[in-house]
Amino acid sequence: MKEITPSEVQERLESGETLHLVDVREDDEVAEGIIPGALHIPLGEVAERVNELDKSKSYILICRSGGRSGRATEFLEAQGYDATNMTGGMLEWEGATE
């Protein structure tokens, strides 16, 4: 599984790169703050909402600590998507949230 750190994601966003972020946390967790521009799909809904994602794009999966996003990354990879897990999750995120 491909992995990226929160600081690497932040650096890429701050340099103006367009990233396709998917936050798989639950609604109450996302209410506390989400990375601007991230798509919110709770982990339990990823399988039924996978059609919302474009196989031609690369996705970075995010959760609280990296565990659930790791499972989502493995699922998406098995479905033929280019997916990367953000290790450490939002616990290690120091960038902007909305």
Tokens describing residue 32: 């506390």
Helix, strand, or coil (residue 14): helix
Tokens describing residue 31: 């209410």
Residue 95 annotated as catalytic: no
Tokens describing residue 1: 């599984």
Is 31 within 8 Å of 14 (Cβ atoms)? no
Chain center to CA of 52: 14
Candidate list 46, 53, 61, 63, residue with the active-site label: 63
Active site residues: 63
